[in-house]
Amino acid sequence: YLLQKRNAMTDLRTPARWPAALYSLVQWRKLVRYERAICQTANAVAAVSDADRQALRQLDGAANIHVVSNGINMDEYPVHPAAPAKAEARLLFTGKMDYRPNIDAVLWFCRHVLPLIQRQFPSATFQIVGMNPHPRLDEIRHMPGVEITGAVASIQPYMQAATVYVIPLRVGGGTRFKALEAMASGKAIVSTRLGVEGIPVQHEQELLLADTPSEFAAAVMRLLQDNATSTTLAAQLGQSARAFAAAHYDWQQITPLFEDMYAQVRRQTMR
C-alpha cells in the first residue's frame, strides 16, 4: 500500500499523470484493507525494512512483525573495481523497466540530471538495462548517450563496464535489490535517499546521496573527474559498499533471521 500511496503522490504533481494518480489512490485504499487483514490473521509478518515495518504497524499495532531483509549471495557477484579515471563516463541503471518506480527514475534522470552531466562530460553515456522497456521510455530512447537494452542474459558485463551506478528512485518501498547488487559488485554508487531506503548506508562512506537534479549531477561528476582524488573516492566507496553488503546482506547473515522468526512462531503455536 505504501508503494501505491507514493505513486499517487508523485503522479499528482503532473497534470498529465492525474489519471494514473487516481488509479493509485484507489489501489492504495484497497491495499490498506487487504494488508491490514493479512497482518491480523498471520502468526508473523516479515518486512524487508524497518520503514516497511513501521508502515505495517500503522495498519495493525498488534501484529508480530519481524524485519528480515532481502539477501544476496555474495559469491555470485565478482568485484568490479571502479573504471580507470580516463575511461569513458559510463552510467548504469538496472531493473525491470515496466515497473513504475523504475520508469519514473530513469525519466527523471534523463530529463533533469543527465543534461547537467553531459555539459561537463559530453561523451557520458547512460545505460538502462532491464526487461520489458515501457512505451513511456520511447521519449528518451534517442537522447544522446542513452541506451535502453531490454532483457539481457547477464548484468555482469554492464556492471563491470560501469563507471558509476545510479539509483535515481523517487517512489517505491522495501529494500532495493538493485542497490545490493551494485554494492556486492563493488561499484561506486550515487542514489537518492529513497533509493537506498531500508539499507542503513551513510553518505560518503558506502555511497553518495543526492535528491535534487543539481545535487545528483554534482555527485556523479565528482566521481567522474580525471584526477587521483576522484579515482580514490570511487574505489573507496566501492570497497566500503561491498564490505557492508557482505557484513549485513549475505544470505549467511539473513537466513538465521528467518529461522528465528519461524522458531518463535512454532513456540507460540505449540502453547
Say which range, 13-17, 67-71, 139-143, 222-226, has the weakest mean pLDDT: 13-17
Rounded CA-CA distance 155/42 in Å is: 37
- When the pLDDT of each residue in the chain is averaged and rounded to a whole number, the result is 87
In terms of DSSP H, where are the helices of 81-227?
Answer: 100-108, 114-120, 138-141, 156-161, 177-184, 213-224
Cell numbers for 145? 548517450
* Residue ranges of domains in the chain: 2-71+251-269, 74-248
Mean pLDDT of 33-38: 84
Tell me: the pLDDT tens digits for 181-201? 999 999 999 999 999 988 999
Rounded CA-CA distance 96/230 in Å is: 31
Task: Report the percent of the chain where pLDDT is more than 70.
Answer: 86
Tell me: the pLDDT tens digits for 92-131? 999 999 998 899 999 999 999 999 999 999 999 999 999 9
pLDDT at position 160: 92
- Look up the CATH superfamily of 74-248: Glycogen Phosphorylase B; (3.40.50.2000)
Statement: residue 36 has pLDDT above 90: no
Estimate the share of the chain in helix, then strand, then coil, as percent rounded to the nearest 5. 55, 15, 35
Say which range, 42-46, 172-176, 200-204, 249-253, has the weakest mean pLDDT: 172-176
Of residues 31 and 75, which shows the higher confidence score? 75
Rounded CA-CA distance 172/20 in Å is: 15
Going by C-alpha positions, the residue among 3, 46, 76 that lies closest to residue 254 is 46
Statement: residue 204 has pLDDT above 90: yes
**The whole model's pTM is what?**
0.83
**What DSSP element (H or E) covers 50?**
helix 50-59
Say which range, 20-29, 56-65, 183-192, has the weakest mean pLDDT: 20-29
Q: Model confidence at 269, in pLDDT bands (50, 70, 90)?
A: confident
Contact call for residues 268 and 46 (beta carbons, < 8 A): no
**What DSSP element (H or E) covers 267?**
helix 251-269
Cell numbers 535489490: residue: 177
Q: Model confidence at 2, in pLDDT bands (50, 70, 90)?
A: very low
Mean pLDDT of 152-177: 88
**What DSSP element (H or E) covers 39?**
helix 18-41
CB within 8 Å of 250: residues ≥ 6 apart: 71, 72, 73, 74
Contact call for residues 93 and 106 (beta carbons, < 8 A): yes
Cell numbers for 13? 504533481
